[in-house]
Amino acid sequence: MGMPITPATAVSRSSDDSPEAVILLELVDEDGNTIGTAEKLSAHQAPGRLHRAFSVFLFDERGRLLLQQRALGKYHSPGVWSNTCCGHPYPGEAPFAAAARRTFEELGVSPVLMGEAGTVRYNHPDPASGLVEQEYNHLFVGLVRGPLRPDPEEVGDTAFVTPAELAERHEAGPFSAWFMTVLDAARPAIRELTGDSAGW
88 annotated ligand-binding residue: yes
168 annotated ligand-binding residue: no
Return the number of other C-beta atoms located less than 10 Å from residue 158's C-beta: 15
105 annotated ligand-binding residue: no
132 in Cβ contact with 183 (< 8 Å): no
Is 86 a residue of the active site? yes
61 annotated ligand-binding residue: no
Of the residues 26, 85, 86, 93, only one is catalytic, namely 86
Of the residues 26, 85, 93, 135, only one is catalytic, namely 135
Q: How many degrees, rounded to 5, is the angle at CA 79 between CA 77 and CA 80? A: 65
Q: How many degrees, rounded to 5, is the angle at CA 176 between CA 175 and CA 177? A: 115
* Residue 137 amino acid letter: N
CA nearest neighbour of 52 among 97, 107, 2, 8: 97
Residues tagged in the binding site annotation for Mg(2+)? 106
Residues tagged in the binding site annotation for Mn(2+)? 44, 51, 88, 133, 135
State the catalytic residues: 86, 135
Residues tagged in the binding site annotation? 44, 51, 88, 106, 133, 135
